[in-house]
Amino acid sequence: MTDQAVDLGGRAGASAGRFFGRQRELKSLQSDIERAGLDTMAGRKAARARVLLIAGQVGTGRTALAEQFIVRIVDDYPGGVLRARLTESDGRAVPTDETSRALLDALDIPAPPGADEDELSEMVRDALTGRQTLLLLDDAVDAEQVDPLLPDDPDCLVVAVSGGPLIGIPGVRPCTLGGMDPKAAIELLATFTGSVRITVDPQAAESVAEECGGLPAALVLVGGWLAARPKTSVADALRQLRALPDAEGAAVLPKNLRPLNRAFHLVYASLPGQAARTLRLLALAPAGLADAHTASALGGCSVPEAQSALDSFVALGLLNRQGVHYRVPGALHPLLNRLIETADKPAEVQLARARMLERTVRLLQSCRGAAEPEGSPPRQALASLPPALRFPDVPSAGKWLRQRQSVLLASARLAVADGELDTLARRLVAALVRALAVHHGTEAAAPELYQLHKLVLDVAERRGLHREEAAALLNLADLDARTGRTEDALARYREALDAGRAANDPYATGRAMESIGGAYQELGDWHRAADWYGRALVQRQARDERAEEARLYGRLGTVHTYAGRYGEALRSWRASVAGYRKTGDLPAQARALSEVARVQEYAGRPQESLHTCQEAVEWARRAGDDRLQAALQLRLADTLERLGDPAAAGLHRHTAERLLQEAAENAARWDDDPRPELPIEGSDDRSGIETGSGSVAAEGPRERVGDDVSESTRGGGSAHHVHRGQGADEPARRGQERGQGPHKDRNRGDTPDTQRPQQGSTYEIRSRVAKD
């Protein structure tokens, strides 16, 4: 919540970059840096960064003072300045995990999705250690918000802005702000009125400053009002200020903020009806940030009219310009909320909120469509949008998404928290997930997607939408598994199984059972992993899903191999080969055969392994997959080396190198081919939240697994990166003593690529749902 700045850079009618008064406070802050702390006086080195506190009520210019002080000392801190806002404009205290993610993002450090606030704040502290950084924590509610973010480095400095003392942080002396001194207040007023009107009646100017309580925010409002009326004297402004009746609810304001209330109502009363309504409704803007589209939707006017209104509000001191956004000053937010309660009907307010969310959804759909290939359904849908909602090209759409990402996430949070616009909230989340996926990719956007999946889960649980609940739980569990929180993932997969059963959704239940098996596999519990894979397999067989059945046989073969049950592993892998043969998937059949050969080698049957591997090479050749052939040739070479035939092994390695070179040349020719661009992988509905009435999940992007030149087969499942756990060590050791058993060969991972499912899952949010 940034207060009305004393620094008036860029405001109409003001001198750019000027700062008025507060010299005593600036000197006090400077001396606080040089003052010996408690640790120094005790003869020990400080363990943490020094904290300087600027305390004052909203409207006193406390943030502007902090910024001016930082300008003076920034050269002493080569690590630069980091800023974080700890309270949103509506008064919501920002959780520590959100603040930590914002700081890590500013440092270009990826934050793991789903990490808790302790882990994230520790990452922030570690990142700042040794950087000599200035950290501005604006509008802190209490010490609990500040303390976790304090760097463990005395060479850093933290400047905190708060409404009062931060009890609990030792060695902090607040620099308390009140009103400005009369001389500085008149100088500030003169930047709007010009020197002539002040010189003509200096006593009136002093009285105006006194009537405003010396609050910069109030002085800026009166100055803006006078700047819009060049023929009005300062004395006239004083008379109108004194003649204003106390607004309803003014009695509950702190005494020192009543001057701000009067100055605000002086300006507000001068606005035309439509402009006044638009200003009031800007209090509904997420995170207190609006642009022309937001103002247009809230006020029910055109985008040019909204832009003109926003610019006029800035000139009057009612809004602050912040990059591409306009910010409602924190000091004015409660005043606007009180006006909404008295001047607008609840139904009208809810309608304005709905218009704003609908506009955001359409902009996100346009943003996504701009990055889709020509002729695709999302691209074709752009034709139905008004020109004002379209983006000229992909870079423009991506830039819009980056600049507004924090506001869009705040909009989704507010929509879900509202509880009365759940259909719009779900559409907004769906559109945001798709836009993030197509512009940033699912891996890069994982932290944001984690937040969005949690929002969907909140709505699904509130509305009793079991299918969406299952899908959200699966998505969250996949992200937990991907970041190593396997126990958390396992718990969520079990919850997803219960939700899928409640929805009577066979895909969700099968997907959950397979993912539970994958979690146990990751934990090295081969018996439970095989049990859950078996349950998922039975369901796939009952539904006659042959490709999924073949893949699950492969997963069973893998856990049996790790457990040292080579007979059962061979039976499972042979069943997988037979399944892929029936479906006509030659590459998958070749990969499954290569795993049969691997298990035969582990079981001490090298000649059979050699024969099976040769058969796999032949099937890969028939499939026309050069990279797969190369991988299998390398595996064949490894087998021949262990059988004592290095000459034959060398020939196969040479063949693999030739195949890889040919594959690279073909890829280069394809890159030079001027044919139309292929669809961006993961950019269609399968990679985001699906609309319509399909199943809960769909396939995700390809991944390189198993032999590092091969690609996985398609299918659903959890996103586990399987490795040998402790339970596989003993059979692996015994096999290696015989020159066999599970091991990592050259160019080979230790997870068979034919058994691993695709990473990521999607869930649907249907556009036609039960009425809220």
pLDDT digits (tens, 9 = 90+) for 23-56: 899 999 988 887 755 455 444 456 788 899 999 8
Give the pLDDT of residue 9.
Answer: 33
Lowest-pLDDT range of 6-10, 90-94, 549-553, 587-591: 6-10
Fold of 464-671+685-737: 1.25.40
Distance between CA atoms of residues 210 and 242, nearest Å: 11
Under 8 Å between Cβ of 441 and 685: no
**Of 751, 713, 749, nearest to 580 (Cα)?**
713
pLDDT, mean of residues 144-158: 92
577, pLDDT greater than 90: yes
730, pLDDT greater than 60: no
Residue 650 tokens, joined: 């060398």
pLDDT band for 739, please (50, 70, 90 cuts): very low
Give the pLDDT of residue 37.
Answer: 55
752, pLDDT greater than 70: no
Cβ neighbour number for residue 322 with a 10 Å cutoff? 11
pLDDT band for 736, please (50, 70, 90 cuts): very low
pLDDT band for 250, please (50, 70, 90 cuts): low
Residues 6+ apart with CB under 8 A from 83: 106, 135, 136, 138
First to last CA, the chain: 33
Distance between CA atoms of residues 467 and 469, nearest Å: 5
**Of 445, 58, 444, nearest to 288 (Cα)?**
58
DSSP string across 520-582? HHHTT-HHHHHHHHHHHHHHHHHTT-HHHHHHHHHHHHHHHHHTT-HHHHHHHHHHHHHHHHH
Q: What is the DSSP letter of 322?
A: E
Show the CA angle centred on residue 662, arms to residues 657 and 664, nearest 5°: 95
**Of 309, 284, 312, 283, nearest to 296 (Cα)?**
309
Distance between CA atoms of residues 463 and 474, nearest Å: 18
Lowest-pLDDT range of 65-79, 132-146, 178-192, 628-642: 628-642
Edge-to-edge strand ranges of the sheet holding 320-322 = 289-290, 325-327, 320-322
Residue that the structure tokens 């895909």 belong to = 507
Residue 267 tokens, joined: 């300006």
Give the pLDDT of residue 172.
Answer: 87
Amino acid identity, residue 597?
Answer: A
Q: What are phi and psi of 20, to 5 degrees?
A: -120, 130
Residue 323 tokens, joined: 């990059």
CATH of 23-176, one of 3.90.226.10, 3.40.50.300, 3.90.1150.10, 3.30.470.30: 3.40.50.300
Give the pLDDT of residue 4.
Answer: 38
- List pLDDT tens digits, range 256-296: 678 899 999 999 999 999 999 999 999 999 988 999 999 99
* H-run or E-run covering 653: helix 646-672
**Of 631, 598, 624, nearest to 710 (Cα)?**
631
Q: Is 561 left (phi over 0), alpha (psi -120 to 50) or beta?
A: alpha
Distance between CA atoms of residues 727 and 674, nearest Å: 52
Distance between CA atoms of residues 54 and 446, nearest Å: 36
Residue 200 tokens, joined: 């003509």
Distances (CA, A) of 213 to 8, 260, 421, 574: 19, 8, 42, 85
- List pLDDT tens digits, range 176-187: 988 889 999 999
**Beta strand pairing status for 325-327 and 289-290?**
antiparallel
Q: What is the DSSP letter of 764?
A: B
pLDDT, mean of residues 63-68: 91
Give the pLDDT of residue 362.
Answer: 95
Lowest-pLDDT range of 353-357, 361-365, 605-609: 605-609
Q: Largest alpha-carbon pair distance within the chain?
A: 107
Distance between CA atoms of residues 135 and 74, nearest Å: 11
Residues 6+ apart with CB under 8 A from 759: 478, 482, 700, 701, 703, 719
pLDDT, mean of residues 619-642: 86
Distance between CA atoms of residues 310 and 304, nearest Å: 10
Under 8 Å between Cβ of 136 and 70: yes
Give the residue ranges of DSSP H helices in 89-137: 96-106, 117-128
**Of 563, 522, 560, nearest to 729 (Cα)?**
563
Give the pLDDT of residue 748.
Answer: 32
SS3 labels along 530-545 = HHHHHHHHHHHHHCCC
* Cβ neighbourhood burial of 323 (10 Å; 0-12, 13-18, 19+): exposed
Give the pLDDT of residue 440.
Answer: 92
Cβ neighbour number for residue 573 with a 10 Å cutoff? 30
Show the CA angle centred on residue 206, arms to residues 200 and 210, nearest 5°: 150
Lowest-pLDDT range of 139-143, 641-645, 719-723: 719-723
Residues of the chain above pLDDT 70, percent: 81
The structure's pTM equals 0.79
pLDDT band for 751, please (50, 70, 90 cuts): very low
Distance between CA atoms of residues 376 and 378, nearest Å: 6
753, pLDDT greater than 90: no
Give the pLDDT of residue 743.
Answer: 39
Give the pLDDT of residue 713.
Answer: 31
Give the pLDDT of residue 168.
Answer: 84
Give the pLDDT of residue 542.
Answer: 93
Give the pLDDT of residue 620.
Answer: 87
704, pLDDT greater than 80: no
Relative orientation angle of helices 333-343 and 258-268, to the nearest 10 degrees: 60
Give the residue ranges of DSSP H helices in 441-483: 446-463, 466-482
pLDDT band for 695, please (50, 70, 90 cuts): very low
pLDDT band for 702, please (50, 70, 90 cuts): very low
Residues 6+ apart with CB under 8 A from 727: 524, 525, 526, 562, 563
- List pLDDT tens digits, range 421-446: 999 999 999 999 999 999 999 888 99
Distance between CA atoms of residues 142 and 166, nearest Å: 6
Residue 92 tokens, joined: 């919501």
Residue 657 tokens, joined: 């190198």
328, pLDDT greater than 60: yes
Q: Which residue has the higher pLDDT, 473 or 726?
A: 473
pLDDT, mean of residues 84-113: 89
Residues forming a β-bridge with 134: 81, 157
pLDDT band for 90, please (50, 70, 90 cuts): confident
- The b-or-e profile of 492-531 (16+ CB within 10 A means b, else e) is bbbbbbebbeebebbbbbbbbbbbbbbbbbbbbbbebbbe
Give the pLDDT of residue 741.
Answer: 46
- List pLDDT tens digits, range 192-248: 988 899 998 999 999 999 999 899 999 999 999 999 999 999 999 999 998 887 655
676, pLDDT greater than 60: no
* H-run or E-run covering 136: strand 134-140
For residue 407, how far is the Cα from the chain centroid?
11
Q: Is 521 left (phi over 0), alpha (psi -120 to 50) or beta?
A: alpha
Under 8 Å between Cβ of 26 and 82: no
Under 8 Å between Cβ of 214 and 1: no
Give the pLDDT of residue 167.
Answer: 87
Under 8 Å between Cβ of 117 and 148: yes
Distance between CA atoms of residues 235 and 2, nearest Å: 30
Lowest-pLDDT range of 79-93, 142-156, 548-562, 711-725: 711-725
Give the pLDDT of residue 380.
Answer: 87
Average pLDDT over the chain reads 81
**Beta strand pairing status for 81-85 and 134-140?**
parallel
Residue that the structure tokens 């009369």 belong to = 182
pLDDT, mean of residues 484-488: 93
749, pLDDT greater than 50: no
* Cβ neighbourhood burial of 701 (10 Å; 0-12, 13-18, 19+): middle
